[in-house]
Structure 1
Amino acid sequence: MTSPTTSPDVPPCPAGAAARPLPQRAHEAAPIAPEAPAPPARRALRGDIEGLRAIAVLLVVLSHAGVTSLAGGFVGVDVFFVISGYVITAGLLREAARTGTVSLRTFYARRAVRLIPAAAPVLVAVLVGAWLLTPLRAVQTAWDVIASSVYLINLRLAQTGTDYFAAGEPPSPVQHFWSLAVEEQFYLLWPLLLLLLLRRSRRDATDGLPRRRILTWVAVIAVASLALSVWLSARHLAWAYFGSPTRVWELAAGALLATATVRMPTRARLPLAVAGLGAIAAAALAFDERTVFPGYAALLPVAGTVAVIAAGAGGSAGLTDRLLGSAPARLLGKLSYSWYLWHWPALVFGAALLGRAPHLVESLGFVTVALGLAAASHHWLENPVRHRPTLRHSPRRGLALGGSLSAATAAVAVLATLITPTVAGRTSADDPTELVAEAPSPQRRLTQLLAASAARPVVPANLTPPLVTALENKPTFYRDGCHELDDPARNARKCRYGAPDGARTVVLLGDSHAGHWFPALNTIAVERGWRLIVFVRNECSAASVTVFGFSDRRLLPECTRWRKGALEQIRKLAPDLIVTSSIGSSTTAADGGPDNDQVWVRGWLASLEKIKAKGARVAYINTTPHLREDLLPCLAANLDNAAPCQRSQAEAVPLPDRRRAVAGALAAAGASVIEPTPWLCTKATCPALVGNTLVYRDNTHLTTHYSTLLTPMLAARLDKIMKARTQPVQAHGV
C-alpha cells in the first residue's frame, strides 16, 4: 500500500506558504493563546513543521523505493495527516478569532488553488504513461484518474482492495492520491462543523472562540474514528486503510492540538521533541507490510507527530528545532507535496520501462528524477499560481480554476477509457481445444502442443482470452455470486450447475484454485448427467487450517466458519464425488507457525475424514504451477517472443516438498490425487500460451478457456474414480 500526504494550509497566506497533502506548508503561526503574549515574529514561520514534512516525505519515498530498513515508511502519511489537521485548524481558528466567522468559499478556493494546479499535470502524465507503458491497465488507470480528480480514489482502492483477484495486480500509478482524497473529504465537512459551533456556541471572553466546545466535539470524533479504525482493521483491512472514517482521528489529533493552544515548558520541549521523533522513527523501522495498520499501530506515529508539533509551539525546542528548521529540511518540506505527487508514477512507470522490478539504485534514480520534476513544478507552476493576486483575492476565480482543471482532467480520462490501446500479436494460431478433444490420445496431443508452445512462444493475434480482458476471465459461478456467500446452505440451494436433475451429485469444494477447475468440471457434469454443486470461497482452503489472507493481510476466521458450514452441508447432500483443490501449498497457515508442512497435512486429513464420513469419493487436484507475477504485462511487452514469460517446471511448481507431503498423506487416506503439472508443463518448461489459448488469467489461476481445454484429461480421471470402489489410490506424477 502506498501512503499519503499532508495538506496545504488555510490561513491567509503569507508569501511562502507551503505545500499541502503530503507536503504541506512549512511556515505556520502557532495558535494564539489568550493568556500568553504573542510569540516573537520569527516563530510565525514554523520551520520545525516544514522539516517534519521533509521527514514524512522521505519516509514515504524511501519506503516505496525499496529501502528495506524503512518498510514502515508508510507512516509518513500519518505524519502528514496530523500536520494537516494542525495547520488547517490553526488557520481556521485564527480567521475565526479575527473575523468572528469562517469563510467557506475562501477556504475551499485556497485549497483548490493550492492543490489542483500541481496535481492535474501529474494525472495527465499518468494517462500518457499508462497508454505507452502499461497498455493492459490503461482503461483501469483512466478510471483511477477520474476518481483521483474528484478525490474519491480512496473509496475505489478500498473496493478493489477487497477483491482477491485484484490483490496480485500491479499498483495503480495514482494509488498515492488516496491520502489527498481522505484529507479533502475531511475538510469538506470540518469547516462546516466549525462554523456551526462558532454560530451556536457561547464565545469565550478571551478570543471569542468556543474552544472547550470545539475540543469536546473534536475529541468525540477522534475517539469514535479510532475505535472504528481498530475494529475495522481486524476485519476489513482495505477499508480501514483507505477509508476516511478510520483516518479522521489522525487529522483530528492535529486539530485538537491546534485548538488546545498548548504551551510546553521550556525544559520539556527538547525531550518531548526527541521522544516524538523517536516514536516516528520506531514506527518506520519496526512496521512492515505484515503490520495490521492503521488500528492501534497508528497511535505510535500519530502520537510522535503530536509531540514534535507541541514541543515547537510557542518557543524553540532547541537542537531538534534547529535541525528541522534547517535550510535543507525546509526546502525539502516545501517540495514535499510535489515530490509526493510525482514519486509514485516515476516508480511505477520506471519498472514498466525496465520490464522488471527495479533494483534499489534504480528506484532511487527514479525518485530523484521525480524530485527534479517536483522542483520544476514548485518553481514554475505552484508558486506562480498560488501567489497570483487575481486568485488570492478572488475566491470565485480560485474555485473556477480548480473546478475547470479537475473537470478537464476527468474529461481527458473519460476519453482515455473510450480509446484503448491495442495489445495483440501479428499472426494467428490454431485453437488447441478441438485438437485435444478430437485426438485419440488427448494427453499425448496436449503434450505435443505444450512442447511446441514452449519452443516457439508467440502471442497470437487471436489469443483467447485477449490480454486486455484476461483479468476478467472468471468462471460462471463468480457472476452468480456463489464465491461470496457467507452461508453455505445458500450455496447448496443456489449454486447448482451441470445437470440440475442428475442422479449423481458432485461437489466442488475449496478456494479460488478449486474454482478454476469449474469450467472443465461443469462440462463433464453436463455430459455425464451429474448435478454439480459449488462450495468455493476465495482464500478459504478446504483444509482445516486457519489461513492468513493474501489480499487482506490478516487471519481469516471467517474461512474457518465457512468451511465448517460447507462440510455440514456436504454431509447432508451425501454426494457421490467431491472434487477439491487449494493454493494451500503457498498460503501461510496460522496454526503451528508460518509455512509448516505438517500443519497442512493434518488440516487436509482432518477435512478428508469429515467429507468421507458418508462414503463419498474424494478427488484432490494438486496445486497448479505458478508463473511470474507480472505474467500479463510480460506477454504484452514480448508479443513476438514470450520466452521470458515462461518458467521452468522446477521454478514453477510451488513448495514441492509440501505438495508431495499433502498428496501422499491424502492418497494413503483414501483420496484420489490428481497431479495437473503434465497438463500445464513439459518436463522442462511451463508455457504461458498453448496455441491461441492463454493458460493463466494471472500467474496462478487458469483461464476458463484453458480449464475447458483440460476437460478430456480430467474426465478420464474422474470416470475412473467414480467407477472404482472406495480404496486408497496412489498419486501419480507428483
Structure 2
Amino acid sequence: MLPLALQKTAAVEASPVPVTFGTLKPSTPAEETNATRLTAQIDAALAAPAWPELSPSFDNILAEGKPDEDAGCGNTDIAAGGCVFGTEKPQTAVVLGDSTGITLLPTVRAAMGTDYNVRGMTKAGCVTLDLEILDDRPGFMADCAAFKAAAIEEINRTKPAIVFITNTSGVFGSLVSNARGTEAQQEWLMGTARLLEALKPSGSKLVIVTAPPGGKSPAECATRTSTPRDCMYEVNSNFVETAAAMQSAAEAAGAKMIDTRSWFCSSGYCPSFVGNTPVKRDTVHTTKQYAALLVPVFTDAVAALSSQGTEDS
C-alpha cells in the first residue's frame, strides 16, 4: 500500500459559495512556515525513487551521527554536576530522559543556548517516567530508580525555568506489570502523571517532548540493492498509544506537550532521510545532523508554548 501522501484523493464536490462581484479577491497561498517546509521535505523523501547522496553516509552513520553530548550525558552524574552546558545565564533549561534525551540535547542547545544554560539529566536505557521497565542487566533497574529520584530532587532544588521530558516508546511492551493494550496505556498515563506531580515543587514549566517513533535501522534496511522505500516505516502503535497517554497526563497536570511525529513523518509514514540528511543512526536515535535540522521547528514549538501560556492565564 502506498503512503497516504503518495495516493491520489478523490475530488470532493463543494457547495457553491455566493460571491458579491467587485469584492472577490485573488486567493493567496497558505503561509509557508518552518513546519510546512519540513513536511514538504519529508514528502519529497517519501516519494524519492532512489537514494540521494547522504551526509553522513549510512556506512559511517553510527560514528558520525552520534551527538557530541553522548560522552558526558550517557549516564549523567547529577551529584557532580555532569552534562552541564553553561552556568552564567540567569535561566536554565533541563532535558530529563533516557537516551532519546541525549539526542534531543543538541537541538535544545542550538535553539536555547544563547539565553539559557542547558543541563542534561539523561541516562541511556532509563525511562524517567514513574514506571518500572524490565531490564535484565544486573542492578540496572535499581540504578535507574536511584537516578530518577536524584534527578527529581535536583530539579526541585535548582528550580530551572523549563524541563523537557522525553523517553522512548519502544519499551511500551516491557512494563514489569506485563500490562498490555489499554491497561498498559493507563499505566503509562499514571507514570507520567506521577512524574509531573513530583516535579511541581520546582515551579518549572514542564514540557513533554515525544521521542521519535521507532522505525528501521539503516544498517539493516539500506543495502546496495535497496531503495528508499525499503527503509520507510509507519508510525507504530507504541508511539500512538504512549503519546495519547502523555497528552492526557499533561493536560490534567497543566503541563505542555510537543508531539514531534510531524518532524519525522507525514500522513503516518516516515522516511530514513530528509533532504541529504539521515534521520536516525538506528531504530530510534536521531543523528546529530538531523538534530540540527530540527532547530527551527523546535524553536517555533517552544515559542508556541509560551503564547499558549499567555492565553491560558
Please report the TM-score for the alignment, with normalisation by the length of structure 1: 0.36
CA contact (8 A) 1:516 1:704 kept: yes
Matches within 5 A, 1:532-547: 532-547=118-133
CA contact (8 A) 1:617 1:722 kept: no
| Number of the residue aligned with 2:200 | 612
Matched, 1:471 2:62: yes
Cα 1:440/1:503, change in 2 over 3 Å: farther
- For 2:231 and 2:200, locate their aligned partners in 1 and report how far apart those are by CA, in whole Å: 41
Q: Which runs of 5+ in 1 are unaligned?
A: 1-438, 730-734
| Number of the residue aligned with 1:67 | none
- For 1:506 and 1:693, locate their aligned partners in 2 and report how far apart those are by CA, in whole Å: 27
| Number of the residue aligned with 2:303 | 719
- Bigger helix fraction: 1
Cα 1:616/1:457, change in 2 over 3 Å: farther
Match of 1:467, as an amino acid? F
Cα 1:635/1:664, change in 2 over 3 Å: same
Secondary structure at the aligned position of 1:535 is classed as strand
| Number of the residue aligned with 1:673 | 257
Matches within 5 A, 1:498-647: 499-527=86-114, 529-549=115-135, 552=137, 556-584=141-169, 586-587=171-172, 588-590=174-176, 592-595=177-180, 596-628=184-216, 630-638=217-225, 641-647=227-233
- For 2:263 and 2:200, locate their aligned partners in 1 and report how far apart those are by CA, in whole Å: 27
CA contact (8 A) 1:488 1:566 kept: yes
| Number of the residue aligned with 2:33 | 441
Matches within 5 A, 1:156-305: none
- Bigger strand fraction: 2
Secondary structure at the aligned position of 1:673 is classed as strand
- For 1:697 and 1:537, locate their aligned partners in 2 and report how far apart those are by CA, in whole Å: 18
Q: How far is 1:557 from its partner?
A: 1.6
CA contact (8 A) 1:617 1:726 kept: no
Secondary structure at the aligned position of 2:168 is classed as coil
Match of 2:213, as an amino acid? P
Please report the TM-score for the alignment, with normalisation by the length of structure 2: 0.81
Q: How far is 1:675 from its partner?
A: 0.7
- For 1:494 and 1:468, locate their aligned partners in 2 and report how far apart those are by CA, in whole Å: 32
CA contact (8 A) 1:543 1:604 kept: yes
CA contact (8 A) 2:162 2:204 kept: yes
Cα 1:728/1:535, change in 2 over 3 Å: farther
Q: 1:702 aligned to 286, 291, 301, which one?
A: 286
- For 1:690 and 1:553, locate their aligned partners in 2 and report how far apart those are by CA, in whole Å: 39
Q: How far is 1:724 from its partner?
A: 5.2
- For 1:659 and 1:624, locate their aligned partners in 2 and report how far apart those are by CA, in whole Å: 11
Secondary structure at the aligned position of 2:222 is classed as helix
Q: 1:683 aligned to 239, 264, 267, which one?
A: 267
- Residues 187-235 of structure 1: CA deviation (Å, up to 9, x unaligned): xxxxxxxxxxxxxxxxxxxxxxxxxxxxxxxxxxxxxxxxxxxxxxxxx
Cα 1:724/1:452, change in 2 over 3 Å: closer
Larger radius of gyration: 1
Cα 1:668/1:471, change in 2 over 3 Å: same
Cα 1:558/1:726, change in 2 over 3 Å: farther
Cα 1:526/1:614, change in 2 over 3 Å: closer
Q: How far is 1:603 from its partner?
A: 1.3
- For 1:583 and 1:728, locate their aligned partners in 2 and report how far apart those are by CA, in whole Å: 29
User: How well do the aligned residues superpose, as a CA RMSD in angstroms?
Assistant: 2.5
Q: How far is 1:705 from its partner?
A: 0.8
- For 1:445 and 1:725, locate their aligned partners in 2 and report how far apart those are by CA, in whole Å: 26
- For 1:663 and 1:604, locate their aligned partners in 2 and report how far apart those are by CA, in whole Å: 9
Cα 1:542/1:457, change in 2 over 3 Å: farther
- For 2:289 and 2:237, locate their aligned partners in 1 and report how far apart those are by CA, in whole Å: 21
Q: How far is 1:440 from its partner?
A: 5.2
Q: How far is 1:443 from its partner?
A: 0.8
Q: How far is 1:468 from its partner?
A: 1.9
- For 1:643 and 1:540, locate their aligned partners in 2 and report how far apart those are by CA, in whole Å: 32
- For 1:671 and 1:616, locate their aligned partners in 2 and report how far apart those are by CA, in whole Å: 10
Match of 2:223, as an amino acid? A
Secondary structure at the aligned position of 1:562 is classed as helix
CA contact (8 A) 1:578 1:619 kept: yes
- For 2:239 and 2:293, locate their aligned partners in 1 and report how far apart those are by CA, in whole Å: 26
Matched, 1:488 2:78: yes
Cα 1:726/1:540, change in 2 over 3 Å: farther
Q: Which runs of 5+ in 2 are unaligned?
A: 1-30
Which structure's relative contact order is higher, taking Cα pairs within 8 Å and 6+ residues apart?
2
- For 1:724 and 1:504, locate their aligned partners in 2 and report how far apart those are by CA, in whole Å: 20
Matches within 5 A, 1:71-150: none
Cα 1:557/1:657, change in 2 over 3 Å: same
Q: How far is 1:578 from its partner?
A: 0.2
CA contact (8 A) 1:511 1:539 kept: yes
Q: How far is 1:615 from its partner?
A: 1.6
- For 1:563 and 1:489, locate their aligned partners in 2 and report how far apart those are by CA, in whole Å: 12
Cα 1:526/1:659, change in 2 over 3 Å: closer
| Number of the residue aligned with 1:431 | none
- For 2:55 and 2:137, locate their aligned partners in 1 and report how far apart those are by CA, in whole Å: 31
